[in-house]
Amino acid sequence: MPEPSGISRKSLLKAAALAVPAPLLMAGAARAMTGDRLEPTPFCDDGDDPTPPQIEGPYFKPSSPQRGSLLEPGMAGTRLTVTGYVFGTGCQPLGNVLLDFWQADDNGAYDNAGFRLRGHQYTNAQGAFTLTTIVPGLYPGRTRHIHVKAQAPNRPVLTTQLYFPNEPRNTTDTLFDPRLLMTVRPVGSAKEASFDFVLSVAPSPGTPSPSGSSRPPQPGGTWAPDIAYAIGAQVTYAGVTYRCLQGHTSMAGWEPPNVPALWQRV
């Protein structure tokens, strides 16, 4: 599959999520799931780090029901569909990964008595998942977020949280991490989001290395840590130009190719 060098499949998927109208994205996702468009061994040469962990918080409950949709009749809130993939560190899609989501309701409350807005599911053979839910409400002390535990078969559990772009509290919530930002778009009165997980699962021995995976990183450019970048700012990194999508102060680990929610390749 022809791809520009230096762009991982993960980045391409995120770029597609930013650039392609929703119906086309959905069609693309459908093709990906049937294997017509994306190869099972993706290109991946930008050294993506595993998705960072976050604290579990006080509201996790085990034994959630298995379901991809957390919607219930009469549930208040903006409808939200989150789609994405789970990859290993070799960018290999990971199937049968347990994803256990829990979140606050439209009023910012967790259901600690039952399992409202809690559910687990498994990625398909292509590593894909779809969560149908509502946009979680805010509660004191936190920015908007969705909790999730992700576990590949016979591997440790990753506990983390997913965030929404352009939330005022993202700048004050000390737990907020832009590497965990979803891309979110409005679709009518609803929203569609995407996020790809990378779990610390190495490719199986004998799995062909993705093209270019042995190429050493090529940092360098105008991007630097500890800089306050504003929306629209342009930098170069490893020979590629990026535009800032959201104001932030840069730091090591948030290099433009690692944080597509902050930097768009131009």
C-beta closer to Fe ion: residue 55 or 227: 55
DSSP summary character for residue 3 = -
Judged by CB under 5 A, does residue 57 bind Fe ion? yes
Judged by CB under 5 A, does residue 247 bind Fe ion? no
**Which residues, other chains included, contact 2 with Cβ-Cβ below 8 Å and sequence gap of 6+?**
none
**CB contact at 8 A, 210 and 202:** no
Measured between alpha carbons, how far is 211 from 230 in angstroms, rounded to an integer?
34
* Backbone φ/ψ region at 27: left (φ over 0), alpha (ψ -120 to 50), beta: alpha
The region of 46-54, 55-63, 68-76, 208-216 touching Fe ion under the rule CB under 5 A is: 55-63
Q: Could you tell me the smallest distance in angstroms from the CB atom of residue 257 to Fe ion?
A: 29
The region of 5-13, 56-64, 70-78, 164-172 touching Fe ion under the rule CB under 5 A is: 56-64
Judged by CB under 5 A, does residue 77 bind Fe ion? no
Per DSSP, the three-state class of 190 is strand
Question: How many CB atoms neighbour CB 161 within 10 A?
Answer: 22
C-beta closer to Fe ion: residue 146 or 235: 146
Site residue total, Fe ion (CB under 5 A): 1
Q: Which residue is nearest to Fe ion (CB)?
A: 57
C-beta closer to Fe ion: residue 53 or 57: 57
The region of 2-10, 54-62, 166-174, 205-213 touching Fe ion under the rule CB under 5 A is: 54-62
CA triple 210-28-35, angle to 5 deg: 50
Measured between alpha carbons, how far is 152 from 94 in angstroms, rounded to an integer?
7
The region of 27-35, 36-44, 51-59, 243-251 touching Fe ion under the rule CB under 5 A is: 51-59
C-beta closer to Fe ion: residue 57 or 137: 57
15 exposure class (CB count in 10 Å sphere: 0-12, 13-18, 19+): middle
C-beta closer to Fe ion: residue 118 or 265: 118
Question: How many CB atoms neighbour CB 57 within 10 A?
Answer: 14
Q: Could you tell me the smallest distance in angstroms from the CB atom of residue 136 to Fe ion?
A: 8
The region of 2-10, 57-65, 73-81, 222-230 touching Fe ion under the rule CB under 5 A is: 57-65
Helix axes 9-19, 22-34, angle to 10 degrees: 150
- Binding residues for Fe ion (CB under 5 A): 57
